[in-house]
Amino acid sequence: MSDSAHIFFFYGNDEFAIRKQAEKFGAMFSDPTTAGMNTARLDARNVSENELGNAVGAMPFLAPQRLVILENISKKYTGLDGHKKFVTFLESVPPSTKLVLIDPDEIKERDIPGHWLVKWATKVGDKARSQGFMLPRQREMPGWIINEARRQGGQIEPSAAARLAEMTGEEPRQAAQEITKLLTFVNFAHAIGIEDVEAVSILTASVDVFELVDAIGTQNGKLAQKLLHRLLEEKDAFEIFGMVVRQFRLLTIAREVVDEGGALPAVTEALGMHPFVAEKAYKQARAFSMQMLEAIYHRLLVMDEAAKTGVMPLDLALDTLIVELTSKG
């Protein structure tokens, strides 16, 4: 595509990759002071039309372009009327403003060509670009981890990458954090080995999260809260939350296979995981109905948004969720 584009739309379910891509636009400013005066970060859900119009319409100060990053477009501009309204706004964005739209969302790859903003970006040609960022599948995570270690200036052995992938699942953000920790541990002196992963990484936390979800499935609220509080003493709430989301995502996939008559081999294939891990998910999924798993997963997404917008801290939200899910009444 042409370098004349000044509107960029990044979408998909890999929020970590989307935000990394958006951060690259900060390099357009050589002076940090100029960058601060010419950059606006806005959330479509709580910015007024006038504020948005002023942000993109202002002239750059001592720089060739302004940078405006706008998030969560799909959560505000809904339905045909909302789409038309936002497209009309996009047509008015001047070339003196570089507008970056980031929209992390659960979108299936087959639906991407029909996305209203993807269609618009394709239609207008050189003035806009769209790019999707989808979470790597489980079988792709070892390769992703090897590449990320290289990007961070180090190396990881294939066996260690496979082991770390089992621990983190389809969670690039968490995997990247673990790689940073591991490279620091080996001091970049040699490639990360499987013994380093076992010694430093999140194996204990992974087991505890499995036990936590197991306690929820058996309605053992006392044990579930004990496990949660132990995890929160050792790990950041967002890190624990990501692991809980990942576990329930695996259980939802496993339960769907089971409901369609599939046994352990079918679950293992669907998850694309090591048979040992898949067997754990297969057994655990049977303690939940599909309706319950879908409700929990939706609730976790709502909790994530509430935490990021300051509505409720994640540790409190997780505590509350456990009480609700394990209440006998």
CATH number of 175's domain: 1.10.8.60
- Is residue 106 domain-shared with residue 83, that is, in the same domain? yes
Q: Flag whether 66 is in a domain.
A: yes
- Is residue 62 domain-shared with residue 109, that is, in the same domain? yes
- Is residue 196 domain-shared with residue 212, that is, in the same domain? no
- Is residue 230 domain-shared with residue 189, that is, in the same domain? no
Q: Flag whether 1 is in a domain.
A: no
**What total of structural domains would you count in the chain?**
3
CATH number at residue 118: 3.40.50.300
- Is residue 80 domain-shared with residue 12, that is, in the same domain? yes
- Is residue 12 domain-shared with residue 115, that is, in the same domain? yes
| 102-130 tens-digit pLDDT | 987 766 666 677 888 989 988 888 889 98
pLDDT of residue 2: 42
pLDDT of residue 182: 93
| pLDDT means over runs of 10, the chain (329 residues) | 77 85 85 83 90 91 90 88 93 93 74 83 88 85 94 94 82 86 92 87 61 86 88 81 85 92 88 73 88 89 85 89 81
Domain around 306: 203-326
- Is residue 13 domain-shared with residue 92, that is, in the same domain? yes
- Is residue 218 domain-shared with residue 195, that is, in the same domain? no
Please provide the DSSP assignment of 185-240 as one string.
HTTTSSPBPHHHHHHHSSHHHHHHHHHHHHHHHTT-HHHHHHHHHHHHHHS-HHHH
CATH number at residue 233: 1.20.272.10
Q: Flag whether 2 is in a domain.
A: no
Last-in-domain residue among 200, 225, 251: 200
Q: Flag whether 101 is in a domain.
A: yes
Angle separating helix axes 158-168 and 141-151, nearest 10 degrees: 110
Last-in-domain residue among 177, 200, 223: 200
- Is residue 153 domain-shared with residue 90, that is, in the same domain? no
- Those residues whose C-beta lies under 8 Å from the C-beta of residue 329, and which sit 6 or more positions away, are none
Flag whether the pTM goes above 0.85: no
Spell out where the chain has E strands. 7-12, 39-43, 66-71, 97-104, 128-132
Last-in-domain residue among 99, 132, 165: 132
